[in-house]
Amino acid sequence: MSTTQNLSDRVAVITGASSGIGEATAKRLAAAGAKVALLARRADRLEKLSAEIAEAGGTALAIRVDVADAGAVRAAAERVAAEWGPADLVFNNAGVMLPGPIDEQRYDQWGRQIDVNIVGLMNVIGAFVPQLTAAPTRQV
């Protein structure tokens, strides 16, 4: 029994796509036929991943974006819609964790975690929910 759906002509957006779970998700969705928009801060890794997906027969669009920047996330959403139409799937995966003892954490480190893990999450929701509700395969 296969648990993989055919995602041909579906537009999937993955934040935090440059490594880890985001990278693996992008590869899996592309292999299932989705067009994958790769969003992350590390442009070099995004370009490498985009090339790997293309070599495997998939379609990818690399967009360098910091999810903590609301304007940059809105611009990324507009670019995805302009190139491929509205997003059908959004994997809001970007996140950071700064390991170590709590008494060794600096305020700016905590601030960065909050900016990416909470503010970034909300920026992505705000930018892409209008596309998700407009998508033919609407499911929010």
The pLDDT tens digits of the residues spanning 5-54 come to 788 989 999 999 999 999 999 999 999 999 999 999 999 999 999 999 99
The rounded distance, in Å, linking the Cα atoms of 54 and 128 is 24
Task: Identify the pLDDT of residue 1.
Answer: 44
The pLDDT tens digits of the residues spanning 74-127 come to 999 999 999 999 999 999 999 998 877 878 878 788 888 899 999 999 999 999
Tokens linked to 120: 């970034």
The rounded distance, in Å, linking the Cα atoms of 86 and 65 is 18
Task: Identify the pLDDT of residue 97.
Answer: 85
Domains detected in the chain: 11-134 (3.40.50.720)
